[in-house]
């Protein structure tokens, strides 16, 4: 019975890690949209290129934290197993 419990916990951890990595889809889409809008803004107003780039990179850094948190949770679920004896 104990071997089944260990296998079940490891399986649930792997499924949870896979679901946590899915959190990287949102930041990827958001960053692509931000870069596209920034490129079109620079095309309309080339004089504001440095301001647009600064704001775009700041927004992308904030958006990327969601994906990094998901990756951190996935690593914790895969490599740290506090529930196993």
Give me the residue spans of the domains in the chain.
2-79
Task: Output the pTM of the full model.
Answer: 0.73
Domain 2-79: give its CATH superfamily: F1F0 ATP synthase subunit C (1.20.20.10)
What pLDDT, on the 0 to 100 scale, is given for residue 4?
Answer: 77
39-70 burial by CB neighbour count: b if 16+ within 10 A, else e? eebbeeeeeeeeebeeebeebbeebeeebeeb
What pLDDT, on the 0 to 100 scale, is given for residue 83?
Answer: 64
What pLDDT, on the 0 to 100 scale, is given for residue 49?
Answer: 92
pLDDT digits (tens, 9 = 90+) for 1-47: 667 788 888 888 889 999 999 988 988 898 899 899 999 999 999 99
For 71, other C-beta atoms within 10 Å of its C-beta total 15
| pLDDT class of 85 with cuts at 50, 70, 90 | low
């Amino acid at each position: 019975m104990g071997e089944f419990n260990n296998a079940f916990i490891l399986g649930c951890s792997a499924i949870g890690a896979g679901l946590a990595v899915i959190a990287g889809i949102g930041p990827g889409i958001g960053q692509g949209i931000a870069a596209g809008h920034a490129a079109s803004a620079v095309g309309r107003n080339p004089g504001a290129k440095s301001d647009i780039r600064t704001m775009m990179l700041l927004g992308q850094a904030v958006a990327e934290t969601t994906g990094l948190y998901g990756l951190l949770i996935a690593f914790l679920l895969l490599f740290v197993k506090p529930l196993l004896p």
